[in-house]
Amino acid sequence: MTRKHHKPDWVPENAGAEFTTSVMSGVDGGHDGLPGQTRKAPPHTHIPRRRRLTVDEYVAGVLSGDRNVMAQAITLIESNAAAHFDMAQEVLRQLIPSTGNSIRVGITGVPGVGKSTFIEALGLHLCEQGHKVAVLAVDPSSTVTRGSILGDKTRMELLSRDLRAFIRPSPSAGTLGGVARKSRETILICEAAGFDVILVETVGVGQSETTVRSMVDFFLLLMLAGAGDELQGIKKGIMELADALLVNKADGDNKVRANAARADYNRALHYLAPATEGWRTKAYTCSAVSGDGIGAIWQVIKEFRQQITASGVFAKRRQRQTLDWVYSMVEEHLRTSFFNHSGVGNIRAAVEQAVIEGHLPPTVAAQQLIHQYENY
């Protein structure tokens, strides 16, 4: 594939060198692998140089499960530099045969539902069972807030100290498509490094759920009892994406309400199409604080994997997800290319005005813009 790159003005030479704990910070910047996006250097910034790894060193380090190299490889993927992009793709190309051997679980729910508490409890449970657990996050909104989920190192403190776990905050900044590409590639790095459970956390708002659904095998929706569906921002569409609903905080006085909510959700689920062919989505309860129900939800995930692997749905879904990923990148590239096209830019305002004023039918307007894009 030939790619046009704009050389970035500034590239961190020591990206990833700040590795100190198992919680890694991401790389700033909005490049998502598509042309036409650069960032400006802060003036007079001194970046100490550090010897860059070669492609072979990245590949060997990741395959041997070296956490430091793994973190640097992810930083390479998240980098905004054209040279890093090509190198990262070569590293991935060599690692691809060693990827895929995991269960990828997406976890969503509104802020405050207990996602990070739950992920820590589940992660520790899995580490005790001998699994290697990678925790990633997809949060395109972190561009604005700078406070990406998982970014706060005090969250998941116990899990972040466990050497069988690897925690990586959301790549900051960029379009959802760009953040998603980096997260998908990070999943591959973690798998090549031997992580067999990948937990992907998403903020429970906006488009990010659909995107995370498209990169995981099992999608878990955390809920609260009695918060009201509107309060939880839960739309029927999101329930339809889930392979399980888990009512969290089923402890103390809240236990009875949690059980009632589970029964309500089970009734509602009866009328919805299942997210995964051949699997019935059900509601469960747990307490991320006491640990009740954590082992049980893992059993559900294991049963899911067994059942849909046997039916062939697991492999089919992964194949489809990979192809969808390819075409979503093509779409994003074409969209960027269209809106950056100077010929389109020259006539856009006039065409839009004519449509708004009712002089030009939308279909004709689209034809004119595409004609301009293809011929000028």
Indicate the residue among 72 and 116 with the shorter CB distance to ligand GDP: 116
Binding interface with ligand GDP (CB under 6 A): 109, 111-117, 248-249, 251, 287-289
Strand order in the sheet with 165-168: 165-168, 133-138, 197-202, 103-108, 218-223, 244-247, 282-285
Alpha helices in 199-341 (DSSP H): 208-213, 236-239, 255-269, 294-310, 313-340
- DSSP annotation of 36 reads T
> At its nearest, how many Å lie between ligand GDP and the CB of residue 115?
3
Q: How far apart are CA 132 and CA 116, in angstroms?
A: 18
Nearer to ligand GDP by Cβ, of 116 and 281: the residue is 116
* 36 or 112: CB nearest ligand GDP: 112
Nearest approach in angstroms of CB 147 to ligand GDP is 12
Provide, rounded to whole angstroms, the least separation between the CB of residue 74 and ligand GDP: 22
CA distances (Å), 9 to each of 12, 33, 37, 39, 175, in order? 10, 16, 10, 6, 20
Kindly tell me which of 173 and 246 has the beta carbon lying closer to ligand GDP. 246
Closer by beta carbon to ligand GDP, 114 or else 151: 114
Contact 245, 265 (CB under 8 A): yes
* Chain position whose Cβ is nearest to ligand GDP: 114
Q: Strand, coil or helix: what is 27?
A: coil
**Shortest Cβ distance from residue 10 to ligand GDP (Å)?**
33
Burial 153-171 (b: 16+ CB within 10 A, else e): bebbeebbebebbbbbbbb
Judged by beta carbon, residue 158 or residue 315, the one nearer ligand GDP is 158
The minimum distance between CB 251 and ligand GDP, in angstroms, equals 5
Q: Give Cα 85 to chain centroid, integer Å.
A: 19
Nearer Cβ to ligand GDP (230/253): 253
Q: 168 pairs with which residues across the strands?
A: 136
Which tokens hold the place of 4?
């046009």
Instruction: Give Cα 138 to chain centroid, integer Å.
Output: 4
List all residues 6 or more positions away from 74 whose beta carbon is below 8 Å from its beta carbon. Answer: 16, 24, 168, 186, 189
Q: Residue 292 Cβ, how far from ligand GDP at the closest point, in Å?
A: 8
Residue 359 Cβ, how far from ligand GDP at the closest point, in Å?
50
Minimum CB separation from ligand GDP for residue 141, in Å?
A: 13
Q: Where does the chain show beta strands of DSSP type E?
A: 103-108, 133-138, 165-168, 197-202, 218-223, 244-247, 282-285
Nearer to ligand GDP, 222 or 241 (CB): 222
